[in-house]
Structure 1
Amino acid sequence: MSAERKKVLFLIRSLGKGGAERVLVNLLNRFDLNTYEVDLCLVMDLNIYDQEINRQINRVTLFKSYFLVRVLTFLYTRYNINLLWKSTVNRKLRERYDVAISFADSSYTDLLFMLDHQPRKTITWVHSSYNSYSNFNKFYSGARKERIKKARFDKLSTVVFVSEDSKRSFIEVFGEKYHMEVIYNIIDRKGVLSKAKEFEVKKQSKEILIVSLGSLYPVKGFDKLIEAASDLLKENDRVRLMILGDGPLRKQLQEQIDALQLNEKITLEGFKPNPYPYLAAADIFCMSSISEALPTALCEAMILGKPTLVTDCDGCREIVAGGKYGIMVKGYPFDIYQGLLKMSSDTEIRKFYSLKSIERASGFDDEEILKKVYHLIDK
């Protein structure tokens, strides 16, 4: 190892099935490893992207037990007990890092301050909208919010946001005294286009396929999308909805579909390591989220030229520029239904928004984003 290379630590809870995790893999696989020596630390032993990450990147896992991580997280966030966290971090991470980055801001960001050898610079990446997602307001309020400000944000060198909406939401909750920057996510245009051709997703003749993609959590609004699709099918039985992703709401959402007796028309496809052929087959991409920071799946759908319909929330609003590059509706089932009815009923509207998606995607410049990341590390 060259002593001249800067040592950079990336820390994240796991490399599971979320958007931030996929973005980190995209970033690491394009990282200049001749200039930087990179370690990747996973808090828990879940890494579905293991085979995709460059072998030159050293990987460290803090804990193998998901249950233990939950217990330790509860003890730290509720009672500020961190002895096992601190001893494990310093046993597993012995390097002297120039820069340490928590790539998805959470209580795990605080692990950076437990290192015996404090990095020259500590950074966190915010992939969420703190103000518009109710769970964040639940956890980041009152005395706990003040403790987090002092124990985390006051100590960080930089807070990075993946969108202007995300930054604005953070300021509303925590204020703007911190050093803040906005850096869009790397989307990996070439990878999306290439992987979209790996296999073909078959469709029935004259079928209009609506695809949505995301972890099955309340914030994604899939229950509202299913209700909207049910109403849409009363108007147009050629429509089919596919939802790609997994999560704790799968059973509940499947029960909703079963109750509507629409199992052949609305399907939960589960997590797909390569979702891009499904996106490529879509006639419409829909994002029904309550809150986003920078919706990676929406950007990927635009790279593939898909006409998009999104709900009016942080992140989505920014990417479609308030409706310029895609149809934007309120986040109620009836409004989603009306938007989908308009788009599914008119081929010309779909063609128009397909071109607008391609126009918007031309602004996703991975090389410029990489330059901003390097500048952040080096300055």
Structure 2
Amino acid sequence: MEKKKILIRIGSLRHGGAEKVLVTFLKNLPKDKYEIDLLLNLYSGKYLAEVPDWINVLYLNKGGMITTNRIQDIPKKAYRVLYQNLLKTFPKILYSTILKNKKYDVEFAAIHGMRDDILNSPIKSSKKIVWIHNDLRKTEFHNYTDQEIRKFFGFDKIMVISEHIQKDFENLAQNEVEKYKIVRIYNPLNTEEILNKSDASTPLSMTNHQPTFVSVGTVFPQKGFDRLLKVHKKLLDEGYQHQIKIIGDGYDFENIKNLKTELGLGKTAEMLGFTENPFPYVKAADFYILSSRYEGFPTVLFEAITLKKNIIATDVSGVQEMLENGKLGLIVENSEQGIYKGMKKALSNPESFSQYQENLKDYKMPFNLENSVNKIMEIIDE
């Protein structure tokens, strides 16, 4: 049987949730069934090394992400933007050169930012799929209006990762055909791998005797690490001794690091950068904290649930669903004050978290890796 030809597009394979989920999906696909071209805007990122070797990786630009505006970086940055915009405006150039006029059966936008790139494809016969990982009303650079979200109905299938996002799209659907396009799929998550990796030796910095809060995520304003540090400082000033560990990297890393210094938190807050295996840190911590301003469906919470951690999370998209309306962890108001109240409760009354531990004991994930991968394959194949 002839292999189905698929084009997948994403910005890069940096250390983000959507990138991690995409690579997990690719690693679990049967290689004898599909011929996949993975086209990156920028050939960079920690997850590049994990892409299976049978997948053909193509790119528009090479080199690391430029996050500064230093004079010497501006020409390179400008060239990249102009080149990408040229190929976006005249997609036939991209398809005839880099993609060598290949006729794809399926074209797949692995993040919402690739919407127009896929919808403007010169291949009119291909099935077009988009994967929405965020609450589009509250994204980093662009809060989508109803009119902007309606454009996603140009896809044949709209894969969403949470009930909140699903309802938003369903409310904008104008008929049953459009409603049928919306499919909710849990992110592929390898729980067995998480458990195995968490058994690596406990990091030295986690062996102190103070209560420790750990948070994992790309260091963007979205993740609210600035709020976390300010609350940490306030609680220390009130006499609550504890430590914070932030695991992750991103364009806001230096800003958060500077804030840590300004607040005088050199001894109690640690920024560990990106690590390929954050799970021993999560396992060794007393509490997992999600301080995000917005999310789509924070997969990191399922990782914390897998490791049976005490969880404190701001009330963002996906959290009520994942924590079963507060049965599996403490859900706090999405504000600095909410984070403060949650952490203060954890430090002043840790026994109150025993109810969550009880509920986590026999908790079974509502999905597994195989089911999620099979569901996406069904969408590709139907």
TM category (shorter chain) comes to 0.7 to 0.9
Residue 109 (structure 1) aligned with residue 115 (structure 2): yes
5+ unaligned residues in a row in structure 1: which ranges? none
Give the drift of 1:258. Answer: 1.6
Deviations 1:10-39 (A, max 9, x none): 211110111100011111111122222222
Match of 2:137 in 1: 131
Higher mean C-alpha deviation, range 158-167 or range 252-261: 252-261
- Pick from 182, 191, 195: which aligns with 1:180? 182
Deviations 1:150-197 (A, max 9, x none): xx524311111011112233456x545532111110111112112222
Give the drift of 1:230. Answer: 1.5
Give the drift of 1:301. Answer: 1.1
Distance 1:233 1:74 in 2: 48
CA separation of 1:7 and 1:355: change in aligned 2, threshold 3 A: farther
2:128–2:157 Cα contact (<8 Å) kept = yes
Match of 1:158 in 2: 157
Match of 2:199 in 1: 197
Give the drift of 1:114. Answer: 4.4
Matched to 1:70, the amino acid is V
Higher mean C-alpha deviation, range 348-357 or range 206-215: 348-357
Q: What TM-score comes out, normalization by structure 1 length? A: 0.87
Matched to 2:109, the amino acid is S
Give the drift of 1:311. Answer: 0.5
Match of 1:329 in 2: 332
Matched to 1:42, the amino acid is L
Distance 1:73 1:357 in 2: 47
Distance 2:120 2:345 in 1: 54
Match of 2:71 in 1: none
Three-state SS of the structure 2 residue aligned to 1:16 is: coil
- Pick from 71, 75, 92: which aligns with 2:82? 71
Distance 2:363 2:48 in 1: 31
Matched to 2:316, the amino acid is C
CA separation of 1:119 and 1:38: change in aligned 2, threshold 3 A: farther
Three-state SS of the structure 1 residue aligned to 2:374 is: helix
- Pick from 362, 366, 373: which aligns with 1:363? 366
Distance 1:357 1:186 in 2: 20
1:90–1:115 Cα contact (<8 Å) kept = no
5+ unaligned residues in a row in structure 2: which ranges? 66-76
Match of 1:28 in 2: 26
Deviations 1:335-367 (A, max 9, x none): 212211212334433443234345555223112
Residue 340 (structure 1) aligned with residue 343 (structure 2): yes
Matched to 1:164, the amino acid is E
Match of 1:88 in 2: 94
Matched to 2:237, the amino acid is K
Give the drift of 1:72. Answer: 4.7
Residue 273 (structure 1) aligned with residue 276 (structure 2): yes
Question: How many residues are treated as equivalent by the alignment?
Answer: 363
1:291–1:315 Cα contact (<8 Å) kept = no
- Superposition CA RMSD, Å: 2.5
1:132–1:169 Cα contact (<8 Å) kept = no
Distance 1:176 1:136 in 2: 24
Q: What TM-score comes out, normalization by structure 2 length? A: 0.86
2:228–2:336 Cα contact (<8 Å) kept = yes
Three-state SS of the structure 2 residue aligned to 1:207 is: coil
2:169–2:182 Cα contact (<8 Å) kept = no
CA separation of 1:225 and 1:157: change in aligned 2, threshold 3 A: same
Match of 2:4 in 1: 6
Structure 1 segments (4+ residues) deviating >6 Å: none
CA separation of 1:343 and 1:286: change in aligned 2, threshold 3 A: same
